[in-house]
Amino acid sequence: WPTTTASDRSRHAVLCRSCGAWLTVGEYLDLYEAESAASSGPACPHCAASFNPGCALHYHVYFVV
């Protein structure tokens, strides 16, 4: 999934399996940037459910970063 332009980053592409909220590409990638400063790991901004920690190992497969 391209992430270069604002249009790319504004596409809804990630579904929270806990609350059903859709996150944009930008929201999702920003969580991982913020996660590097936080010890709790990335979580859904809508319901605070933690994302699978293993996802950080392969998000580059889905998104061009």
Rounded distance between C-alpha atoms, residue 26 and residue 10, angstroms: 6
pLDDT tens for 17-33 read: 999 999 999 999 888 77
**Domain spans, the chain:** 6-62
HSE-CB of 17 using CA atoms within 13 angstroms: 3
With a cut of 60, say whether residue 38 has pLDDT above it.
no
Task: Work out the angle at residue 30's Cα, subtended by the Cα atoms of residues 44 and 56, and round it to the nearest 5 degrees.
Answer: 75
For the whole model, what pTM was predicted? 0.77
What pLDDT was estimated at residue 48?
A: 94
